[in-house]
Amino acid sequence: PFSTKEPCGGDRAFGPGTMLFANIDDGYLEGLLRGYRGGILTDQDYVNLRQCETIDDMKMHLSSTEYGNFLQNEPSPITSTTLQDKCTEKLVEEFNFLKNQAVEPMATFMEYITYKYMIDNIMLVLTGTLNQRDTNELLEKCHPLGKFDSMATLCIATNASELYRMVLVDTPLGKYFSDCLSSQDLDEINIEIIRNTLYKAYYEDFYDFCQKVGGGTAEVMAGILELEADRKAINITINSLTEPSIIKVRDQLYPKVGKLYPSATGISEKKGSNYCSKLAQCVEPETIKTTLDAFPEYKKALESLGAEAGFGESEGSLEKDFDELEVNLNMLAFEQQFHYGMYYAFVKLKEQEIRNIVWIADCISQGEKGEIDRYLVTIF
């Protein structure tokens, strides 16, 4: 006989009753999701958007897609910021509709998706607080998917210690803070180090959860999260090339998941009196490329690193190449059924779509339509 549940009560194992039992809890939501996926902009849509002369022209074209009349109450001229806010509102509306009807373990999976935005929101407010900026203004800039009930309390806190004591320990991210940070650390450690430490804990925790769910979820999410973790490790290494204080703690920031772990980011070699990973020892772009030669999937993305065009341009090309890798994996998530990875993939694809729309709008408003293809990543 075939089991319909994994040991943790997660994904159904593949067997004669797989479709029957999967559809009891998740069939309706998967149907909705695939409908949402069908509304993602196509290559032809981007061809039409390239031909627009103003953002108002973009509004007219987008009204003929699944976005509909989402800008009908916005006065002209429409800015790219308004466009981004309204596109994000539509994504949040669709995501919350799915999330509010999910049952376990999918409900917990959907919560994990929001943790990333919570980290970004908290770090945004933390940065503003340390720089004596008005917290209320920062709250307006927070991503809607990462907002939580006690965020209003952030306005009362006057320093980082109060932020931790009054708010952070009571959020779903409290376990990440308590595991790797103290309230004093929030005052003393570089903001980027704190952010990357939290992401490391998040990726490892989310990866473990998906493996416990098992089945297609474990398989699909393993590939997606491994790529994101590797991208994070590579970005940490590149961005810290001129920061000796961060170079010393690189190994503490690298996620212990991904294709780079443990061969490139695991503690493997002795340097002086300490042991550190191969990637953590890199202090030049060329040594990074040499260290990662064993990973052909990242070769194209790293080709432009340290190019003569300049560090800023090579960094932009690197980000686009990784965006394309992520889009490809997220598209493949829809080739399978009866797993939760496609819900995560949908959010990531919509995020990329919003970045594309905003980039096109910025290029049009600045009269630089020739630059559109530089960072545009088409999806379907």
Give buried/exposed letters for 58-73 (b at 16+ CB in 10 A, else e): bbeebeeeebeebbee
Which helix (H) or strand (E) segment holds residue 99: the answer is helix 80-99
Is the pLDDT higher at 317 or at 113? 113
- Nearest Cα neighbor of 339 from 223, 205, 221, 206 is 221
Q: How far is CA 74 from the centre of its chain?
A: 29
For residue 230, pLDDT beyond 80: yes
Torsion of CA 200, 201, 207, 210, to 10 degrees: -150
Can you give the pLDDT at residue 4?
Answer: 39
Can you give the pLDDT at residue 182?
Answer: 53
**Tokens 């509010």, residue?**
100
Contact, 353 vs 66, CB < 8 A?
A: no
Can you give the pLDDT at residue 39?
Answer: 94
The pTM of this model reads 0.89
Can you give the pLDDT at residue 14?
Answer: 42
- Distance between CA atoms of 83 and 68, rounded to whole angstroms? 13
- Distance between CA atoms of 335 and 29, rounded to whole angstroms? 16
Contacts of 57 (CB under 8 A, 6+ apart): none
Average pLDDT, integer, range 47-73: 92
For residue 30, pLDDT beyond 90: yes
CB atoms within 10 A of CB 364: 20
Give buried/exposed letters for 2-15 (b at 16+ CB in 10 A, else e): eebebeeebbbeee
